[in-house]
Amino acid sequence: MGVNCLCAFPTPIITLDLVYYDKFRDALIEHIYDVKSKTRSAQKSNNGGWQSPPVELPHEFGKHIFSNVNTYGLEQFLGGNWTCQVGNLWYNVNPTGAQNDRHTHPGCDLAGVFYVKIPEGECGDLELENPQHYPQFHMLNTMEDGLKDKTKCSHSLWFPPEEGVTVIFPSNILHRVLTNKTKEDRISISWNMKIVEK
157-195 pLDDT, tens per residue? 999 999 999 999 999 999 999 999 999 999 999 999 999
Which helix or strand (DSSP H or E) is residue 100 part of? Answer: strand 99-103
In the chain the domains, ranked by start, together with CATH numbers, are: 14-197 (2.60.120.620)
Dihedral sign for Cα atoms in the order 49, 55, 104, 140 = negative
Confidence band for 1, pLDDT divided at 50, 70 and 90:
low
